[in-house]
Amino acid sequence: MRFPTRQESVLPYVLQRQAATRPEAPCALYSDGTVWSYRDVALRTWGLAYQLRDRLGLERGEYLASWLPNGPEALLSWLASTSVGAVYAPFNTAYRGPQIDHALNLTRASVLVAHVDLLERLRGLDLPHLRTIVVVGEGKVPELPCPWVRFTDLAGHRAESPPVLDPPLEPWDDCSVLMTSGTTGRSKAVRRTYAQYDRYTEIAFRLLGADARDRFYVCAPLFHGGADTPVFAMLQLGGSLMIDDGFTASGFWERVRRYECTIAWMHSAMSLFLHKQPRRPDDADNPLRLAMLAPLFPGFEEFAKRFDVRVYMLYGMTEMACPFCVIDPDDVHNLGTPADPGYEVRIVDENDLEVPPGVPGELTVRHKLPWVISPGYLHEPEATARAWRNGWFHTGDVFVRDEAGNHRLMDRVKDSIRRRGEFVSAAEVERELLDMPEVTEAAVIGVAAELEEEVLAYVAVRGHDITPAKLHARLVERLSYFAVPRYLVVRDTLPRNVALRVDKPALRALGVPEDAWDAVAAGVQPTRERFTRS
């Protein structure tokens, strides 16, 4: 175990190396049949990088925000921004007004690359740091808060060499910031160093024998850690990427076969969707050799057998590379011992004192190498100090360690809900509800569902006459589709504990009340949107 060199781990130098040593090898494939070699990617990246620097004034240390669906524009924006020493900040395309306002102002992004279908959501926002919007797509551009330019005007250029970075970037520099679910407040921007990405490659890919012969199927959104870290890893290894528009259960295996993909990542809802597809006699006839599942779902053994694929369970977070990685697991919750020998893990009580085997507590971690765990939350020193207190990063997850040293994931300490691969901040949903004049109290919880959890909101509207349907309609306008509660329950008051806080454990124990309003039954629950293609 050693600290990586800049040539091994810093993205601009990784791309230079691959373009020089394997120029004609495939790097990125897209759903329209386009194939880019490493040389293609490098020339396009460097051409765009010069445009970002010389035409838009993007400087080293500034933030370039990306608000895009999967596609070549997202990949090039990431590679080009880092090529001038900027930090890449991808945002969820489901963000509505308050969320994109928060993300842009928190990161202080000076350039935003955004799909034309999303631009209307910027109307009326105060974005003092934003200088330029780069518009992807050929649709009509609405009135915007700053000057804009078409992506095609910048990306049509090629360059034979990259911009010179003096001094050079180092493994401890920030590569990106990823927005993560807030627990006691709004979403935070997690700083991710090049060294952190490199450690993910080492443990989640090289440990399993992944190399330049592999092709990763990217169907998760590139603003998600389940996609951007594998993309980085395959670029380091010299492998290739099939970047799809998104996930569909009916089309997954057809794409895997057509593009000869060997590795894929999927959250539990995606894998369960695949498992529930009608069986076919050729289910096992596919090139996929590794399926990274996070987390596992009951019945994963049958999934592995049916599709003739090795299942790989990993545990990690936006803030850290994976301490636990288990190939061919035999239990949904047992993560064993750390796969990365550099990780130190402790299970602690509320005072950070280590608990004995068999006693649940919060998992805390640190690493023997520097910069492998995130340096913290961008522009939020207090939140950083809370999460990294006493020299250990606090994961917010409840674990139990047995006498043999095996670790089992039990629950989450943090007040967040996992719905179809996305973490929903209960605090953010509650804030939107409490901003409504009719609502006096709000409590948002997760309730058990076949696919992870569903979101249920309790609201007190004493003295007001408002229906759950109207509350729901307002939330649709202000929240990401996956954060909009499926269930709403209206009460005069909400139960409180001795500390006078809303008693969420008591509400969770009720499950879904019989009188809960159900947006799915009403036919109004929002779903992931589709984008026009230029």
pLDDT digits (tens, 9 = 90+) for 74-90: 999 999 999 999 999 99
List the single range of 248-262, 339-353, 449-463, 497-511 with lowest mean pLDDT.
497-511
Check if the beta carbon of residue 137 is closer than 8 Å to that of residue 160: no
Cis peptide before 167 (omega within 30 of 0): yes
Structure token digits, residue 423: 């973490």
For residue 231, count CB atoms less than 10 angstroms from its CB and return exposed for 0-12, middle for 13-18, buried for 19 or more: buried
pLDDT at 208: 87
For residue 444, give the H/E element and its range: strand 441-448
For range 233-248, the mean pLDDT: 96
List the single range of 1-15, 191-205, 461-475 with lowest mean pLDDT.
461-475
What whole-number percentage of the chain has pLDDT above 90?
73
For range 362-373, the mean pLDDT: 97
* Position with higher pLDDT, 316 vs 42: 42
Q: What is the DSSP letter of 408?
A: E
pLDDT at 368: 97
Q: Reply yes or no on whether the pLDDT at 269 is more than 90.
A: no
Map residue 520 onto helix, strand or coil.
Answer: helix
List the single range of 201-210, 321-330, 419-428, 517-526 with lowest mean pLDDT.
419-428
- Cα torsion at 185, 187, 191, 197 (round to 10°)? 130
List the single range of 12-26, 125-139, 483-497 with lowest mean pLDDT.
483-497
Question: CA-to-CA distance for 208 and 326, rounded, in angstroms?
Answer: 10
Q: Reply yes or no on whether the pLDDT at 499 is more than 60.
A: no
For range 240-253, the mean pLDDT: 95
> Tell me: the pLDDT tens digits for 104-116?
999 999 999 999 9
For range 394-401, the mean pLDDT: 91
For range 222-243, the mean pLDDT: 96
For range 207-226, the mean pLDDT: 94
Q: Reply yes or no on whether the pLDDT at 405 is more than 90.
A: yes
Supply the pTM of this predicted model: 0.85
Check if the beta carbon of residue 44 is closer than 8 Å to that of residue 27: no
Q: Which residue has the tokens 């809370």?
A: 386
Q: Reply yes or no on whether the pLDDT at 189 is more than 70.
A: yes
Q: Reply yes or no on whether the pLDDT at 325 is more than 80.
A: yes
Question: CA-to-CA distance for 134 and 156, rounded, in angstroms?
Answer: 14
List phi, psi (to 5°) of 405.
Answer: 90, 5
* Position with higher pLDDT, 423 vs 414: 423
In the chain, the amino acid numbered 285 is D
C-alpha separations of 348 from 29, 134, 177 in Å: 45, 47, 28
pLDDT at 413: 61
For residue 243, give the H/E element and its range: strand 240-243
Q: Reply yes or no on whether the pLDDT at 421 is more than 80.
A: no
Q: Which of 245, 273, 251, 227 is nearest to 452 (CA)?
A: 273
Q: Which residue has the tokens 């709004």?
A: 186
Check if the beta carbon of residue 314 is closer than 8 Å to that of residue 294: yes
* Position with higher pLDDT, 459 vs 425: 459
Q: Reply yes or no on whether the pLDDT at 123 is more than 70.
A: yes
Question: CA-to-CA distance for 477 and 461, rounded, in angstroms?
Answer: 20
For residue 202, give the H/E element and its range: helix 194-204
Q: Reply yes or no on whether the pLDDT at 454 is more than 80.
A: yes
pLDDT at 332: 74
Average pLDDT over the chain, rounded to an integer: 92
Q: Reply yes or no on whether the pLDDT at 273 is more than 90.
A: no
Domains and their CATH numbers in the chain: 6-307 (3.40.50.12780), 337-412 (2.30.38.10), 416-522 (3.30.300.30)
β-strand 35-37 against 441-448: which pairing, if any?
Answer: unpaired
pLDDT at 412: 62
pLDDT at 528: 81
pLDDT at 23: 99
For residue 256, give the H/E element and its range: helix 252-258
Structure token digits, residue 493: 């008051």
Question: CA-to-CA distance for 186 and 270, rounded, in angstroms?
Answer: 27
pLDDT at 180: 87
